[in-house]
Structure 1
Amino acid sequence: MMFESSQFDSTPSFVSSQTADPSPSAAKIRDAQPMHPVTVKQIVGASSSDDDKSNFLIDGISVYNVKLVGMVFDKTTRVTDVSFVIDDGTGRIGCTRWVNDAQDTQELEELTDGIYVRVHGYLKSFKGKRQIVVYAIRPVKDYNEIANHFIECAHAHSSNTRLQKNGSATLASSAATTPSNGQQAVSSSQVSQEYNLDGMGIIDKMVLDYLHLPTSIKQEQGISQNEIAQKLKISQEKIAEAMRSLEAQGEVYSTIDEFHYKSVKA
C-alpha cells in the first residue's frame, strides 16, 4: 500500500482562522513548519531540541506542528478558550483551542466528551507540562481514519529512524507522501505492536473508551452492542468481535443479556 497525502489530510469541517493563536509571531512560526503525525506516547517521550527551545525531537527529527487522532475528555469552556484532553490509546495530553469570534464558539460546540477528533496544532511546554495548542479540529466520521493515522505514525517513525541510522538529516515527509524509493508502507499488524495499548486492538480500545464514558457508566443495564456500533460507526460484526475479545481479557461483562455490556472498571 502506497501513501498519498489525500488519504489522511482531507479538509477539516471546521478550521480556525489565521488568528486562532493570540500571538501573530506564533502563527508565523507555525505556518513555516511541516506537519508531523504523532501519538501521545511519542510527544511524552520527545526530547527538547538544542537549537530551538520551542521545538521537540521525535525520532531525531525537530517537531513543532503535529496532528493527532483520539477521543475527547474533560472539555472545559471559558470565555477566551476551550481546553480538553485527547486520549489516543497510548496516553493522554492536554489541548487548548483559542476562541476569537462567534464562529469559533459555534464550531467548538460540536466538541463533546466521548467523540473522536483529529486535531492539528503545535507543541508547547508550560511549567514543564507538554500540551497542544490546537488551530484546526474536526470530528472523525469514519473509524478507518483512526487506523490510518496510526499507520501514518508508524510509517513516519520507520522512515525517520531509518534516516537517522543512515546518518541523513533529511526530513521524512510528514504528510505521508509516497517514498521516492517505492518502499511499501508499514502494515497495520506492525502498527499494533508499538501503538496499541497493552496489545489491545484499536476497535477494542474504542469500545472500552465508550463504556468508560460517564453516560455509559450510569446505565445500570449496560450498553447494547447496537448502540456502540451506531455511535462509533463500526459494523455490529466488528463490535461483537471486540466484545468477545474484551470479555476474554476480563475487561467487560454481559449484563441483562448477551448483547449488553459494562466495563469491569466502570
Structure 2
Amino acid sequence: MDYSNNYTTTSYGAQGGANGGGFMPGSQSGNDNSSTTKRGYGKDTLRPVTIKQLLDAHHPHPDAEYFLIDGSETTQVTFVGQIRNISLQTTNVTYKLDDGTGTMEVKVWIDAEAFGGEEEGEGGKGGKGKCVEQGYARVWGRLKAFNNKSHVGANIIRPIQDYNEVQYHLLEATAVHLHFSRGPPEQLDQAGKGQSNDATATNGGAGQQQSAAGGQLMPAGTSMAARKVYQAIRSTPQSNEGLHVQQIATAAGLEMAEVLRGGDELMNLGLIFTTVDEHTWALLEINGAGYAPGDDG
C-alpha cells in the first residue's frame, strides 16, 4: 500500500464512495458545515482509524477547519466498532460505538439515513439488514467537534457481515498509523539496521534499549512494565488470538494494573494490538516473521 499522499482507500468492504478522495453519498448534505465544503472535495482523504485516534485528534490552530492525526491532515475517516446504544432524535439517529480503544458518538442525519436505508435495503437484494445494538458496524464520515465534544457525522453506517473485517480494519489502521508516525517501511528497515549496529557498538547504551527476546529495539524511556509485558507475550506459547492480560500478568509476574499500563504503552508504540477483545493482545511484527498489515495484498 502507498500512503505517501495520505490515505485514500480502504480495501475491505469499501462501498458507497470509499474508493478515492472524492465525496461520498450524503457528504453534500446541508448538515455538513460550509467550511468543509469550501475546502473542496478534491482535497478529501479517507483514512482508517481507531476511536482513540479520533479522540486524540486536534486542530493545528484555533481557526483550522480540519483535524490532525499523527501530524497529518485528515478529512474523512472510516472505523469499525460495536454499537452500544442507538438513540432516535428528531433530526438524526445517534449511535454510540465502542472499538476497544474508546467510545464515539456517530450521528446520521435523517435524510442521510434514508439514503443509506434505500441503498442497504431491509433484507432484500444483498440482505444486509440494519444496524442493531450490540452488533458491529463500519462507519464512513467526518470528525466534528461541538462544545469541545467530538463526534462523527456519518455519511454511511452499515452492519458488518464478516467479522474478519474487524481485525482487518485494526491491522490496517495500525499500518497507516505506523507509516505516518515512523515513516515508510523501507525507512524503518534502514533505521532498524543502523540502530542495531549502534546498540551492538555501545552495548545497549542510551540511544536504544534491546529486549532479551527477538532482538526488538525498544525506544529509550520505555517502562520496565512495558518491556516485561512485551517479553511475556513474545515468550509464552499462545494461539493466533494472543494472550489475555491475566495470562500476561502471571507470566510477567506483574500486578494487573501494571500489565494494563504496560499494554497501553506498547499499543501507543505500535508493538502490540488487541485481538478477540480489548484484554487479549498479540505482537505486531513489522520486520520479523509475524503477520504485518498489508502482507496479503
Shorter chain as normaliser: what TM range?
0.5 to 0.7
Q: Distance in 2 between matches of 1:122 and 1:153?
A: 16
What SS does structure 1 have at the residue aligned with 2:175? helix
Q: Distance in 2 between matches of 1:6 and 1:62?
A: 17
What SS does structure 1 have at the residue aligned with 2:276? helix
Q: Distance in 1 between matches of 2:85 and 2:121?
A: 14
Q: Deviations over 1:15-53 (max 9, x none)?
A: 744544524734564733101111111122223222852
Identify the residue that residue 203 of structure 1 maps to in structure 2.
Answer: 276
Q: Structure 2 unaligned runs (5+)?
A: 4-8, 18-23, 123-129, 190-240, 243-262, 281-297
Q: Distance in 1 between matches of 2:144 and 2:102?
A: 17
Q: Distance in 1 between matches of 2:275 and 2:32?
A: 37
Q: Distance in 1 between matches of 2:40 and 2:91?
A: 20
Q: Distance in 2 between matches of 1:180 and 1:20?
A: 41
Any conservation in 1 of the 2:91–2:109 contact (CA below 8 Å)?
yes
- Seen in structure 2, the aligned counterparts of structure 1 residues 133 and 18 have a Cα distance that, compared at 3 Å, is closer
Matches within 5 A, 1:247-258: none
Any conservation in 2 of the 1:40–1:90 contact (CA below 8 Å)?
yes
Q: Distance in 2 between matches of 1:41 and 1:55?
A: 17
Q: Distance in 1 between matches of 2:88 and 2:13?
A: 27
Identify the residue that residue 217 of structure 1 maps to in structure 2.
Answer: none
Any conservation in 1 of the 2:101–2:278 contact (CA below 8 Å)?
no
Identify the residue that residue 257 of structure 2 maps to in structure 1.
Answer: none
Amino acid at match of 2:150: R
| Residue 143 of structure 2 is aligned to residue 118 of structure 1 | no
Structure ranking higher on relative contact order (CA contacts 8 Å, 6+ apart): 1
Matches within 5 A, 1:121-132: 121-132=141-152
Amino acid at match of 1:84: Y
Q: Deviations over 1:79-136 (max 9, x none)?
A: 3211111101000011111111744456598121111111011111100011110001
TM-score normalized by the length of structure 2: 0.51
Identity within the alignment, %: 27
The match for 2:177 among 132, 154, 157 is: 157
Q: What is the CA-CA distance between 1:6 and the residue it aligns to?
A: 6.2
Q: Structure 1 unaligned runs (5+)?
A: 164-171, 173-178, 208-266
| Residue 96 of structure 2 is aligned to residue 96 of structure 1 | no
Amino acid at match of 1:65: Q
| Residue 267 of structure 2 is aligned to residue 194 of structure 1 | yes
What SS does structure 2 have at the residue aligned with 1:100? helix
What SS does structure 2 have at the residue aligned with 1:161? helix
Q: Distance in 2 between matches of 1:28 and 1:105?
A: 28
Q: Distance in 1 between matches of 2:77 and 2:168?
A: 15
Q: Distance in 1 between matches of 2:33 and 2:147?
A: 22
Matches within 5 A, 1:76-87: 76-87=87-98
Q: Distance in 2 between matches of 1:108 and 1:97?
A: 16
Any conservation in 1 of the 2:26–2:115 contact (CA below 8 Å)?
no
Q: What is the CA-CA distance between 1:206 and the residue it aligns to?
A: 10
Q: Distance in 2 between matches of 1:30 and 1:135?
A: 17
TM-score normalized by the length of structure 1: 0.56
Identify the residue that residue 250 of structure 1 maps to in structure 2.
Answer: none
Amino acid at match of 1:53: A
Identify the residue that residue 55 of structure 2 maps to in structure 1.
Answer: 44
Q: How many positions carry a matched residue from both structures?
A: 184
